[in-house]
């Protein structure tokens, strides 16, 4: 629509005027992803978003995604102004892992190396030895296991269980889940697979074990897009937030993509697999953030120093 076009032009002007760059996650609206791409920003998974923001010379980072992504950007670049279209965009994993309860859990298991998923608050990261995202989690745990370390993992039990299976590491799991990925149903994927036996199955490891068990490839959002390109199959069943279809379809225009069912009856669901918090990012609030400096992320200095250590370990980790 014409209003959206005007908004897009306005945001482009504002980004330039503020020496700002837009960093967007694959689950945000198509229009936001497109804008990030057109303006020299990035559309990426959570690890690449962190790397891009930390390295980019812009004075202001506009992070379209959820709260932990903005916080991570600020922790890595305290000298930059970090804005988010909305401060309300949280994550069920972050909500399900309050810092005080988590600290008590860690205190009960002092013999374990604490590894937390990026989808956590700065306060939870501050208590961790390592932060990981889904694209690097298996490699980091393998490395720690080889050193004989026992792991305390939080908050995603499905991702934790998947890593445990892959590596055989001794992992104590926090009981958290992503409300979006948890809805995928193995029966639904099997029914779809029966209709299209030649299709490959791509799954984000925040999904339940039964669904990951059906995957030809399990991985982070970027890894799934890469797999879509590399696999020979021309039909792909995809179990992750439907926001990913924008870039994935661009990457493989000749392939047919199917949303993995979130109900057990084999019917695809057009609106279920979409994160309600990612969906809060819109052109209007993005423009507002740039106009008024609303949605600015601040992280307490002491907390920042403590959270930086495990984040830097992640960024410096080489397989």
Q: Among candidates 37, 44, 32, which has minimal Cα distance to 222?
A: 44
Residue 163 CA to residue 104 CA, distance in Å, equals: 24
203 binds, among ligand SF4, ligand 13P, none (CB under 5 to 8 A by kind): none
Choosing from 44, 91, 116, 290, the residue that interacts with ligand SF4 (CB under 6 A) is 91
DSSP letter string, 117-163: ESSS-HHHHHT-SEEE-TTTHHHHHHHHHHTT--EEEESBHHHHHHH
134 binds, among ligand 13P, ligand SF4, none (CB under 5 to 8 A by kind): ligand 13P
29 binds, among ligand SF4, ligand 13P, none (CB under 5 to 8 A by kind): none
Choosing from 28, 119, 207, 281, the residue that interacts with ligand SF4 (CB under 6 A) is 119
Q: Tokens in use for 76?
A: 């890595």
Contact present, 79 and 118 (Cβ < 8 Å)? no
Crossing angle of helices 46-55 and 301-316, rounded to 10° = 110
Minimum CB separation of residue 1 from ligand 13P in Å reads: 28
Choice between 15 and 136, CB closer to ligand SF4:
136
Residue 140 CA to residue 129 CA, distance in Å, equals: 12
Minimum CB separation of residue 111 from ligand SF4 in Å reads: 29
Q: Is 254 exposed, middle or buried (0-12, 13-18, 19+ CB in 10 A)?
A: exposed
Q: Tokens in use for 307?
A: 């959270």
Restricting to residues 222-281, which ones interact with ligand SF4 according to CB under 6 A?
241, 275, 277-278
Minimum CB separation of residue 158 from ligand SF4 in Å reads: 10
Choice between 122 and 199, CB closer to ligand SF4:
122
- CB burial string 174-194: b at 16+ within 10 A, e below: bebbbebbbbbbbebbbebbe
Q: Is 289 in the site for ligand SF4 (CB under 6 A)?
A: no
Span near ligand SF4 by CB under 6 A; candidates 71-79, 98-106, 130-138, 174-182 = 174-182
Contact present, 135 and 155 (Cβ < 8 Å)? no
221 binds, among ligand SF4, ligand 13P, none (CB under 5 to 8 A by kind): ligand 13P
* Per-position x/- string for 53-82, each x denoting binding to ligand SF4 as judged by CB under 6 A, each - no binding: -------------x----------------
Choosing from 151, 178, 287, 297, the residue that interacts with ligand SF4 (CB under 6 A) is 178
92 binds, among ligand 13P, ligand SF4, none (CB under 5 to 8 A by kind): ligand SF4
Distances (CA, A) of 274 to 29, 67, 179, 260: 10, 16, 9, 12
Crossing angle of helices 157-167 and 137-146, rounded to 10° = 50
Q: Is 179 in the site for ligand SF4 (CB under 6 A)?
A: yes
Minimum CB separation of residue 9 from ligand SF4 in Å reads: 29
Minimum CB separation of residue 305 from ligand SF4 in Å reads: 26
Q: Among candidates 68, 114, 59, 109, which has minimal Cα distance to 91?
A: 68
Minimum CB separation of residue 134 from ligand 13P in Å reads: 4
In 136-234, at which residue ranges do the beta strands (DSSP E only) sit? Answer: 151-154, 171-173, 200-203, 217-218
Q: Which residues bind ligand 13P (CB under 6 A)?
A: 25, 45-47, 66, 119, 133-135, 206, 220-221
Question: Could you list the residues that contact ligand SF4 (CB under 6 A)?
Answer: 27, 66, 91-93, 119, 178-180, 206, 241, 275, 277-278
């Amino acid at each position: 629509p014409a209003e959206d076009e005007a908004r897009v032009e306005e945001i482009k002007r504002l980004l330039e005027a503020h020496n700002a760059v837009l960093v967007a996650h694959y689950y945000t609206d198509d229009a936001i992803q497109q804008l990030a791409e057109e303006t020299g920003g990035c559309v990426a998974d959570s690890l690449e978003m962190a790397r891009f923001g930390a390295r980019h010379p812009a004075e202001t980072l506009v992070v379209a995604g959820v709260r932990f992504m903005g916080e991570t950007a600020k922790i890595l670049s305290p000298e930059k102004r970090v804005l988010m279209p909305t401060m309300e965009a949280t994550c069920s994993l972050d909500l399900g892992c309050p810092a005080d309860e988590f600290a008590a859990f860690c205190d009960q298991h002092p013999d374990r190396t604490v590894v937390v998923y990026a989808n956590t608050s700065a306060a939870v990261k501050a208590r961790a030895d390592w932060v990981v995202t889904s694209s690097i989690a298996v490699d980091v745990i393998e490395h720690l296991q080889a050193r004989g370390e026992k792991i305390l993992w939080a908050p995603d039990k499905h991702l934790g269980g998947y890593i445990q299976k892959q590596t055989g590491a001794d992992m104590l799991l926090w009981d958290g889940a992503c409300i979006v990925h948890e809805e995928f149903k193995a029966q639904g994927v099997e029914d779809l697979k029966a209709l299209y036996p030649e299709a490959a199955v791509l799954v984000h490891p925040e999904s339940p074990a039964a669904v990951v068990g059906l995957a030809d490839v399990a991985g982070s959002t970027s890894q799934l897009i890469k797999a879509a390109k590399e696999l020979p199959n021309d039909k792909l069943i995809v179990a992750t937030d439907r926001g990913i279809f924008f870039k994935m379809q661009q990457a493989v225009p000749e392939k047919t993509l199917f949303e993995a069912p979130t109900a057990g009856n084999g019917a695809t669901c057009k609106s279920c697999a979409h994160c309600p918090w990612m969906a809060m990012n819109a052109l209007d609030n993005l423009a507002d953030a740039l106009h008024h400096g609303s949605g600015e992320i601040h992280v307490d200095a002491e907390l920042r120093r403590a959270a930086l250590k495990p984040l830097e370990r992640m960024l410096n980790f080489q397989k």
